[in-house]
Homo-oligomer: A and B are copies of this chain.
């Protein structure tokens, strides 16, 4: 069945179109799920949600689209300290990089933006003559509510 064509194209769709990347039905469904997501989703959650938009979307298309978005630097891949199994989580890359803190007791994920983190990456690029494309700082421990 055709997809709703009346909705305003999302930013992710625009970014792909600008780069001359073909927009297809399944791709639109997956992009909208990622754009609307309130929390970090894994591949199977993205699949399930995308299927409510386009029931024919396949697992492999989700993985292929996630690869595409990673290569384009439009999403970040997270482990969230493997709180729930071995899979990965995804989030749009917007604005500054941030740190993910995972509470090992209650499972809550907290995000934290820090100028020190930015400085650290600059220091690293300068001192090691390393050109950073992606970075991931994840921390596991006990959040304020769970640390007795």
Give chain A's interface residues, CB within 8 Å of chain B.
77, 79, 81-82, 86, 99, 101, 103-104, 110, 112, 114, 116-117, 119-121, 123-124, 127-144, 147
Q: Are B114 and A124 in contact (CB under 8 A)?
A: yes
Q: Name the distance in Å between A116's Cβ and chain B's nearest Cβ.
A: 4
- A117-B120, A120-B117 known; A135-B138 Cβ under 8 A: yes
Complex Cα distance A121/B130, Å?
A: 22
A-B pairs, top 10 by smallest CB distance, nearest first, are: A129-B144, A133-B141, A132-B141, A131-B142, A116-B120, A137-B137, A131-B147, A135-B139, A134-B140, A131-B141
Is the beta-carbon distance between B116 and A101 smaller than 8 angstroms?
A: no
